[in-house]
Structure 1
């Protein structure tokens, strides 16, 4: 990382945390599941972006969207000079509320997710306009290549990631929900923004989900017929047995 860029990116430590808690307001940037599930109290929100990064599904999830044996995939930020990541910033005011938000995110993102945190410039945006000047600093959670859950590989295709996602589920639900809800958020709020990595994974994922659904429907439709045939056969055999028993009983009575 270039020294001039590093000046605007501060990796969080205990001193930074105390600094944040001393502020009247702290802003937190979401670009993955935080865009639809912040899970902390906030005062207001606004759409926008950060510069110099792009999204990649290069972080494994062994808790929220997968397991230790079958890890899912979630987002991290890849440093990329002329790129932007669009998302949502939540503004949180008051020491108690700020502390609760940072503690919750510390467990969710850092302890369980493997992320680190840093401060970045935030640029407000909408479908109609984009600010050329940052409006505030935001807390950004990013999975660095040094963390054990990082799995970045340029050779891995979007189809490979989609296939992995389609087979994973964690404590927060199916891994597929993560991709589909994020894609929905981007189309609704930033329809003109190009997201080839996200949308290509989503495209493959929908095909895989449809294939799985079709197979399940076919299996469900075929099962009752087999059960019915088996039941009819059993009923017929049972009826024959009862008839033979009655005939035998009559013969014995007549003989007596």
Structure 2
């Protein structure tokens, strides 16, 4: 038996901006978690003075305990991509991801599920995943959709506009599989695009 493959599960920007030295990738999902824009971004989609918002994973039962009235109470599946990294570059990719996910994320090992012949089953055991736990300093928690959407819509950081992160992620998740819907992402995307339209209408009315 050889050494265990280094597999990383991406559920946020890693879906549309994969890590380097990937030799295989497989769409799949996590069970018992929610993906929420509940993490401050001081370094990519915001600034230290005005942090943006990026996604993290939260255990469903933990989220239910402190989220108040979550508008999507039945969501507990998070779709993403499991990336197998070339073993020759494992150390390099670990360092790269540790730096990229340094703003409050912790490394965990999780089982990745897939749908095989119409049946849900674990397709990868113990994939590595960066999770912003609810006790990390950048965790912001639950915010009303309208307030959160407005914050995302106006935030900008060194990696670009916060809303572009949302739009890219929403589009990437939809492409993963016929079943890969995310109610939280869809609601935020819809509201931010409404804000885009309102801004365009306002611009057109200016002399």
TM superposition score normalised by structure 1: 0.70
- Counterpart of 2:81? 88
Structure with the higher fraction of residues in strand conformation: 2
Aligned length: 193
Which ranges of structure 1 fall in alignment gaps of 5 or more residues?
1-21, 223-256
Instruction: Provide the rounded CA distance (Å) in 1 between the counterparts of 2:42 and 2:118.
Output: 38
- Counterpart of 1:178? 165
8 Å contact kept, 2:78–2:182: no
Three-state SS of the structure 1 residue aligned to 2:6 is strand
Relative contact order, CA 8 A, sep 6+: which one is greater? 2
- Counterpart of 2:49? 69
CA spacing shift, 1:193–1:42, aligned 2, 3 Å: closer
Instruction: Provide the rounded CA distance (Å) in 2 between the counterparts of 1:193 and 1:48.
Output: 9
When the two chains are superposed, the root-mean-square deviation of aligned CA atoms in Å is 2.0
The Cα of 1:65 is off from its aligned counterpart by 0.4
The Cα of 1:159 is off from its aligned counterpart by 1.1
Counterparts of residues 79-228 of structure 1 (less than 5 Å): 79-80=59-60, 83-94=76-87, 96-109=88-101, 111=102, 113-125=103-115, 129=118, 131-153=120-142, 156-219=143-206, 222=207
CA spacing shift, 1:177–1:85, aligned 2, 3 Å: same
Which ranges of structure 2 fall in alignment gaps of 5 or more residues?
62-74
- Counterpart of 2:25? 45
Three-state SS of the structure 2 residue aligned to 1:136 is strand
